[in-house]
A and B are shown apart, each in its own frame.
Chain A
Amino acid sequence: MRLILWALISTAGAGAWAVLALHRGETVSAAWMVLAAVGTYLVAYRFYSRFLADRVFQLDDRRATPAERLGNGRDFVPTSRWVLFGHHFAAIAGAGPLVGPVLAAQFGYLPGVLWIVFGVVLGGAVQDFVILFGSMRRDGRSLGQMAKEEIGPVTGLLAMIAVLAIMIILLAPLGLVVVNALKDSPWGVFTIAASIPIALLMGFWMKAWRPGRTIEASAVGVVLLLLALVGGRWVGASPVLAPLFTWNGPTLAYAVIGYGFVASVMPVWMLLCPRDYLSSFLKIGVILLLAVAIVAVAPPLKLPPLTRFIDGTGPVFAGKLFPFAFITIACGAISGFHALVASGTTPKMLRRESDARLIGYGGMLMESFVAVMALCAAAVLDPGVYFAINAPLGALGGTVEKAAATVATWGFTVTPGQLQALAADVGEKTLLARTGGAPSLAVGMAQILGGAFGRTLTALWYHFAILFEALFILTTIDTGTRVGRFMLQELAGHLWRPLGRTSWYPGVVFSSALLAAAWGWFLVQGVADPLGGINSLWPLFGISNQLLASVALCVGTTLIIKSGRARYAWVTLLPLAWVLAVTMSAGWIKIFAADPRLGFLAHAGSVVEQIAAGAVDPARGARLVFNDRLDATVCAAFMLVTALVVVTAAWEWLQIFRHRKPATARETPFVETAYVG
């Protein structure tokens, strides 16, 4: 009976893949994409994750977990597995899995969905699972601590630098996504701005008025936020208020940087904690809503499976299918960032060892599913509309007529009237060149949700989607600046002791300002970039995220080898090899490619020529050249750190194989569980 069931699931999944891959001519329903993905997830979860749990990690329910042994009723709390699944998912899923797939849709939907689904079952979910397992066996130690203890102090330090670097590079493109979604959009700016006083109100509610009443405060916050969303339409239409909330790109960029700085030095209860709750609820709510709507509406995928842009001439970002599809989609397929969560709060809450399978492996499958839904939302748009929203203004031309003509040269049709009508439908003046993925995702979501719950509300759905993305990007900016500040202080404390004290206010302000300035620099550079910024910043982010994934996979491989099961080390070595191939070739191309659209150094060279020819203002040109060289340096530094981590880890493995070092992992000793059954 079981056998028949799994045979059916496998056949359904394989059949759906065949429909997606082989269908030519007419459009395919998004339901096939969902079916192919879910079928693959189920089979992978049932068979591969069980193999990992039983053979490779040898999870043992008789062994007491940190939550049981160290239970303190606060952070170490044994939690039932589905609740913890929700918690872990809310912590790992952010804007990454929503933005990457939308950008990579310029290659067509097929490369994206293949990489998201097969990348996750063989790579991303394995990474999250192995790190969660390692941390669970080590009292909830962090990734950096595990790297230090199991591989060596040099690797530990490198891991820490890697985390700090990715934090800086991550925040800039995320900030840019918000800026591009909100520029010249009074409705959007008003709603997001309103979230700040709402969060402050919630903060005072929970801290001062009714201490600890977090659910009550969050309910009030969510209601107020939805009121602000509805009120935004009125603000956007008001001749008096609209100009106050109509901000251009650079102004918004400085506002976001200022917000990041101020929020990260404020006490956590005022802003961070309430926003964290709002983001969590909104995230889970929206994702459930979207899943229901996609299944209910089953919209047709209008984007072709493959576009001509796999040759590297695409307008959304430069570069060929390999390696850039795999860099652009990081979160959703494999995301190094998750290693921080999987070695953070989650391992301290596992009730039984075997729960790690559902939470580590299953949680990442869920995130991958979010990425598939984001890809669906992009693929249900008319390709012409998709490119008009996602191509930079420099490529499109400033008016809807020019944009329609440009899109026609790419082989897609869209009429100026169609673009104007769409912008009016969602309550915006223009949707042209709103790069960064959020707006096209919001248009797609508005179409899907509108199809399921009523078309009259399209504008509201659009702004709801923008609010949902911007809200948790701003939360990430706050926490990211904060985490980065703590790490910076830890590193700086070695140089001058007072800087390391996290309670010394000048030190806090100084290091926060330094960090906000660091990512702010890249953000401002992105806003000023004539090619649209996402073009250069998103690949850098992808490379840095994959770098962290290689660190995590190196740690994972070491854990497996040291527990004496080196014959299974391929489960992490395989994705490691792939991630390295992708990161290294993408990094190399971004630095050295001769095409100025692609290579940082070639772009710098072309700007130098333009300055010499008098085509570019020398001061502005000098800044562009500096930024290109900075990007190239950052990229080279990422590659160097990755190489060093891999080499130091490989050295450790070699020592074990040659019996110079014993293959013993530093796990916490076995304690038998007191739970029954």
Chain B
Amino acid sequence: MWARLATLVRRVAGMPDYAAYTAHLRRCHPERPVPSEREFFADYLRTRYGDGASRCC
């Protein structure tokens, strides 16, 4: 219940979801190394705000 609420809040606000990402890695790319939460966050910042992030008036 709490975890589902947290996922909802994350998705709506566009926050990174480490648990979902590691789950995705284990399922689809088991050969790749799993990044630490710190690395993952840095990577998220690059993809989300890398191009300046468009947002409305």
Task: Give A contacts to B, CB under 8 Å.
Answer: 71-75, 77, 79, 83-84, 86-87, 90-96, 170, 174, 206-207, 211-212, 214-215, 218, 268-269, 272-273, 276-277, 280-281, 284, 331, 335, 337-338, 340-341, 344-345, 475-476, 479, 482-486, 541, 545
Write the nearest CB–CB distance from B17 to chain A, whole angstroms: 8
Q: Which of B11, B15, B47, B54 has the most CB of A within 10 A?
A: B54
Shortest Cβ distance from B44 into A: residue: A74
Q: Using Cβ atoms and an 8 Å threshold, which residues of chain A touch B36?
A: 211
Q: Which of A94, A211, A338, A484 has the most CB of B within 10 A?
A: A211
Q: Which of B11, B41, B49, B52 is in CB contact (< 8 Å) with A87?
A: B11
B57 touches A335 (CB 8 A): yes
Interface string of B6-20 (1 = CB under 8 A from A): 101111111111101
Q: Which of A206, A214, A338 has the most CB of B within 10 A?
A: A214
B14 touches A91 (CB 8 A): yes
- Give Cα distance in the complex from A92 to B57, angstroms: 8
Task: Known contacts A94-B55, A340-B54, A341-B54; decide if A272 and B49 are in contact (CB<8 Å).
Answer: yes
Q: Using Cβ atoms and an 8 Å threshold, which residues of chain A touch B45?
A: 268-269, 273
B37 touches A483 (CB 8 A): no
Kindly identify, within residues 4 to 39 of chain B, every residue whose CB is under 8 Å from any CB belonging to chain A. Answer: 6, 8-18, 20-21, 23-25, 28, 36-38
B21 touches A87 (CB 8 A): no
Q: Using Cβ atoms and an 8 Å threshold, which residues of chain B touch A268?
A: 45, 49
A94 touches B57 (CB 8 A): yes
Interface of A is mostly: helix
Q: Using Cβ atoms and an 8 Å threshold, which residues of chain B touch A475?
A: 55
Q: Which of B41, B47, B55 is in CB contact (< 8 Å) with A91?
A: B55
- Give Cα distance in the complex from A413 to B24, angstroms: 64
- Give Cα distance in the complex from A479 to B20, angstroms: 27
Task: Known contacts A273-B49, A483-B52, A483-B54; decide if A212 and B12 are in contact (CB<8 Å).
Answer: no
Q: Which of B17, B28, B48, B56 is in CB contact (< 8 Å) with A337?
A: B56
B20 touches A77 (CB 8 A): yes
A483 touches B51 (CB 8 A): yes
Q: Which of B10, B45, B52 has the most CB of A within 10 A?
A: B52
Q: 3 shortest A-B CB distances, which residue pairs?
A: A73-B24, A483-B52, A96-B57
Q: Which of A92, A215, A484 is in CB contact (< 8 Å) with B15?
A: A215
- Give Cα distance in the complex from A170 to B23, angstroms: 41
Q: Count the B residues whose beta carbon is within 8 Å of the partner chain — how many?
A: 36
- Give Cα distance in the complex from A485 to B50, angstroms: 12
Write the nearest CB–CB distance from B39 to chain A, whole angstroms: 9
- Give Cα distance in the complex from A174 to B41, angstroms: 31
A83 touches B57 (CB 8 A): no
B20 touches A280 (CB 8 A): no
Write the nearest CB–CB distance from B29 to chain A, whole angstroms: 9
B16 touches A74 (CB 8 A): yes
Q: Which of B11, B24, B40, B53 is in CB contact (< 8 Å) with A482?
A: B53
- Give Cα distance in the complex from A277 to B45, angstroms: 13
Shortest Cβ distance from A339 into B: residue: B54
Q: Which of B14, B37, B51 is in CB contact (< 8 Å) with A212?
A: B37
Write the nearest CB–CB distance from B43 to chain A, whole angstroms: 7
A341 touches B55 (CB 8 A): yes
Q: Which of B12, B18, B38, B40 has the most CB of A within 10 A?
A: B12
Q: Using Cβ atoms and an 8 Å threshold, which residues of chain A touch B11?
A: 77, 79, 83-84, 86-87
Q: Using Cβ atoms and an 8 Å threshold, which residues of chain B touch A211?
A: 36-38, 41
Q: Using Cβ atoms and an 8 Å threshold, which residues of chain B touch A272?
A: 49, 53
Q: Using Cβ atoms and an 8 Å threshold, which residues of chain A touch B6?
A: 215
B56 touches A212 (CB 8 A): no
- Give Cα distance in the complex from A545 to B53, angstroms: 18
Shortest Cβ distance from A166 into B: residue: B57
Q: Using Cβ atoms and an 8 Å threshold, which residues of chain A touch B49?
A: 268, 272-273, 482
- Give Cα distance in the complex from A169 to B15, angstroms: 29
Write the nearest CB–CB distance from A212 to chain B, whole angstroms: 4
